[in-house]
Structure 1
Amino acid sequence: MKETDLQLLKLLARRLERLNVDSLWARRASGTRGNIIKVLAEIEDGKEVNVERLSPLIDRAFKVLEHAAQEIPDMDEIRKRYQ
């Protein structure tokens, strides 16, 4: 496994953790983050991790983050409503 993959997994886990609990995607983020943490633990324990297992997990994490980001309101639009 490449060091960049390891760093990406850690970054995704941190980002998924920061999602607002009120987000519709928070529950999915929690499950995806849990899977990432399991993989990271396996790596730290020196176990061999199948690289093919990582790609769908990374893709899923990005999808969850993308959908959660779409829930964030556009502040410019909100300001226009109240001016």
Structure 2
Amino acid sequence: MKRVRADKDLELTRQLANRLEHLSVDSTYAHRASGLRGSLLRYIERMEAGEQLDDGAKAGLEELVQDGYTILEMAAKEIGAKR
């Protein structure tokens, strides 16, 4: 069951990193998204290498994922406000 969870976490992290990469460079959030994406990619590399994340690393990843979704949400609102 843990393996399924780890696979889902890895896929979620990949999708989030991909979405952050595609934010418009005109967005006020693009620079933050780029840095966050770099951090997510480091976690992705660790997970793909089969590393078991300890509780501290898992908490750090969860925080990054939350921050990523917050940035996507704010960027989407920014797009809506420009229309």
TM range (shorter): 0.7 to 0.9
Tell me the matched-pair count: 76
Work out the CA distance in 2 between the residues paired with 1:60 and 1:73. 20
Report what 2:17 is aligned to.
13
Q: CA deviation at 1:69?
A: 0.5
Runs of 5+ in structure 1 lacking a partner? 79-83
Scaled by the length of structure 1, the TM-score of the pair is: 0.81
Q: TM-score, normalised by structure 2?
A: 0.81
1:26 matched to which residue of 2? 30
RMSD: 1.7
For 2:77, the equivalent position in structure 1 comes to: 70
Which ranges of 4 or more aligned residues in structure 1 deviate by more than 4 Å?
none
Alignment of 1:56-67 (within 5 A): 56-67=63-74
Query: Matched residue of 2:79: which SS?
Result: coil
Larger Rg: 1
